[in-house]
């Protein structure tokens, strides 16, 4: 179990486009494992490689549903439908939440840790998490697209 340091805003790595993974090596597989360990340790539901300082197109997501841990290399959204509007947070921007409009359902294609192509369809929270993490791979943070951003600590205190 290796917990990596989560890069925080305004680190420039969070605003860069990640590079495609051209070969799945033991290092890439270890990155996925470390990312999952880091996500769970931080009580998150998703993490993208740029959030641990690695500009590779890799994400992990686990929203606590039947899908369990999802590891995707070079993920891309191949279809989306519907709309949802709700609150998002980010492990790289711990003090803020934002109201973000996303697709209600997305289908994402990518590679698993063994290089096999997989397709995942997610709705609601899973769809939101997949879109959020794929945005990270393109240097986009939820604060870039939120309709409203607020300090989570103030909101929790009822102010």
**Residue 34, number of CB atoms within 10 A of its CB:** 19
Binding-site residues from annotation for Fe cation: 90, 132, 136
Q: How big is the chain by its Cα radius of gyration, in Å? A: 15
Residue from 133, 147, 156, 157 carrying the catalytic annotation: 133
Q: Is 133 among the residues known to form the active site?
A: yes
Binding-site residues from annotation: 90, 132, 136
**Phi-psi region for residue 95, left (φ > 0), alpha (ψ -120 to 50) or beta?**
alpha
d(CA 36, CA 39): 5
Which residues belong to the active site? 133
């Amino acid at each position: 179990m290796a917990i990596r340091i989560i890069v925080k805003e305004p680190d420039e790595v969070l605003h860069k486009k990640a590079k495609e993974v051209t070969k799945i090596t033991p290092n890439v597989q270890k990155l996925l494992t470390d990312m999952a360990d880091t996500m769970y340790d931080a009580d998150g539901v998703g993490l993208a490689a740029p959030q641990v300082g690695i500009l590779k197109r890799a994400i992990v997501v686990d929203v606590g549903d039947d899908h369990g841990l999802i590891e995707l290399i070079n993920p891309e959204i191949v279809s989306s439908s519907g709309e949802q509007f709700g609150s998002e947070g980010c492990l790289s921007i711990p003090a803020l939440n934002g109201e973000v409009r996303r697709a209600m359902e997305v289908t994402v294609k990518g590679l698993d840790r063994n290089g096999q192509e997989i397709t995942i369809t997610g709705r609601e929270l899973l769809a939101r998490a997949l879109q959020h993490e794929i945005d990270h791979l393109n240097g986009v943070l939820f604060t870039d697209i939120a309709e409203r951003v607020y300090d989570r600590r103030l909101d929790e205190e009822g102010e």
